[in-house]
C-alpha cells in the first residue's frame, strides 16, 4: 500500500510541475508581448511621424528612401511645422529662405518665403534639395552633411585627405554639430525604417 501511495504522490507532483511550467510559459509570452508593445509605443513617441503620404510621394519623386526624409525632418524640427531656427531656417525641413529661392529658381517656380511653413511645400522642396545634394556629392550622408554645413564647406572637406579617404565619403567631420547631426540622422533612419517603413511598398 505504501508503495502505491508514493507512486500516486509522485504522479501528482509531476503533473503540478508540468502545469507550473505551462503557466510560466504563458506568463512569459504574455508579458514579453506586453513589454514589446510598450517598447514600440515609447519608440513611436520618441520618433513621431506626420505627413507620411507626402514623405512617401516626395521619396518616389526624388529617388529617396522615405525613412531618410522622415529622419531629416526629425533631426531638423521633430515635425514642428512652424519651427524657426535662430538663423532663420523655416518649417519641417528647416530650409533657409535664400536656399528656398535658389531651389525655386532651379525649378522655374515662384513662392514666398512664408510658404516654407506649409508642410507640403516644405517637404517637397526639402526632399528636392536633398536629392540635388545626393546627385552632386554621390553619397547620401555626405549630402546630409552639406544640408547642415553648406555645400562649399563640405566640398572643402572632400579636398582634404584628413577628412576623407575617397573624396566622396567623409571619414571624419570636423564640425561637432554636423558630425552629431549626421549620426542622429543615421540612427533615425534605422528607427523610422523599423517603426514605419519596413517592407513598405513605395
**CA dist., res. 5 & res. 27, Å (int):** 33
Same domain, 150 and 90: yes
Same domain, 170 and 131: yes
Report the CATH number that the domain containing residue 112 is assigned in CATH: 1.10.530.10
Q: Is 90 helix (H, G, I), strand (E, B) or coil?
A: strand
Specify the pLDDT at position 24: 72
How many domains are contained in the chain? 2
Annotation marks residue 76 as catalytic: yes
Name the packing angle between helices 66-77 and 176-192 (round to 10°).
Answer: 130
Specify the pLDDT at position 11: 60
Specify the pLDDT at position 101: 97
Same domain, 41 and 56: no
Mean pLDDT of 86-111: 97
> pLDDT exceeding 90 applies to what percent of the chain?
75
What is the value of pTM for the model shown? 0.80
Same domain, 130 and 180: yes
Q: Which of 54, 67, 76, 156 is catalytic?
A: 76
Specify the pLDDT at position 22: 74
Same domain, 18 and 92: no
Cα 176-178-179 angle, rounded to 5 deg: 60
**pLDDT interval class at 2 (50, 70, 90):** very low
Amino acid at each position: 500500500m505504501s508503495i502505491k501511495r508514493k507512486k500516486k504522490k509522485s504522479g501528482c507532483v509531476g503533473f503540478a510541475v508540468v502545469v507550473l511550467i505551462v503557466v510560466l510559459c504563458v506568463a512569459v509570452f504574455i508579458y514579453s508581448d506586453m513589454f514589446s508593445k510598450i517598447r514600440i509605443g515609447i519608440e513611436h513617441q520618441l520618433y513621431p511621424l506626420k505627413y507620411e503620404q507626402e514623405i512617401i510621394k516626395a521619396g518616389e519623386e526624388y529617388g529617396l528612401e522615405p525613412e531618410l526624409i522622415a529622419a531629416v525632418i526629425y533631426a531638423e524640427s521633430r515635425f514642428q511645422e512652424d519651427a524657426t531656427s535662430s538663423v532663420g531656417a523655416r518649417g519641417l525641413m528647416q530650409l533657409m529662405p535664400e536656399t528656398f529661392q535658389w531651389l525655386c529658381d532651379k525649378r522655374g517656380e515662384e513662392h514666398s518665403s512664408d510658404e516654407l511653413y506649409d508642410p507640403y511645400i516644405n517637404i517637397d522642396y526639402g526632399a528636392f534639395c536633398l536629392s540635388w545634394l545626393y546627385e552632386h556629392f554621390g553619397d547620401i550622408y555626405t549630402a546630409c552633411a552639406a544640408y547642415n554645413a553648406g555645400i562649399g564647406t563640405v566640398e572643402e572637406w572632400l579636398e582634404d585627405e584628413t577628412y576623407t579617404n575617397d573624396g566622396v565619403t567623409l571619414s571624419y567631420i570636423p564640425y561637432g554639430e554636423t558630425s552629431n547631426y549626421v549620426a542622429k540622422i543615421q540612427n533615425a533612419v534605422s528607427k523610422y525604417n523599423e517603426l514605419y517603413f519596413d517592407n513598405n511598398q513605395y
